[in-house]
Amino acid sequence: MKLNLFKIKEGKLQKWLEWGKLLMTNYKEEAIETLKEEGLTYEGFAVFEIEGSHYTLAMIEGEEKPTNMERELNKKHRDIKKECLGKIGPIDKVYELYNK
């Protein structure tokens, strides 16, 4: 699993949360199709707060093929991420266990 940390820009928390809700409802089927195209088996974002600032942790698992930017949903996702998030950087895992 690959992890990346982003700071949510001032005043953009609600928009980011609403986008996540739309991806899980209105756009869910298409979002899953984009994951398949990209060779990903999982993508998720978690939100947390530290000293009044909000952050989001991106988690992806899979092959990571190039994103199809001809898809409107991918364009919109890129634009909302750019508007709402500032990348801090990748996070190194200490360990990772699976019991599958």
Please give the chain's pLDDT, 100 residues, in tens.
999 999 999 999 999 999 999 999 999 999 999 999 999 999 999 999 999 999 999 999 999 999 999 999 999 999 999 999 999 999 999 998 889 8
Domain residue extents for the chain: 2-87
At the second CATH level, the architecture of 2-87 is 2-Layer Sandwich (3.30)
> pLDDT tens, 17-44?
999 999 999 999 999 999 999 999 999 9
Q: Give the phi and the psi of residue 99 in degrees, each rounded to 5.
A: -120, 80
> pTM, whole model, 2 decimals?
0.91
Contact 48, 71 (CB under 8 A): no
Tell me how far CA of residue 15 lies from CA of 7, 12, 35, 80, 97, in angstroms: 14, 5, 22, 8, 33
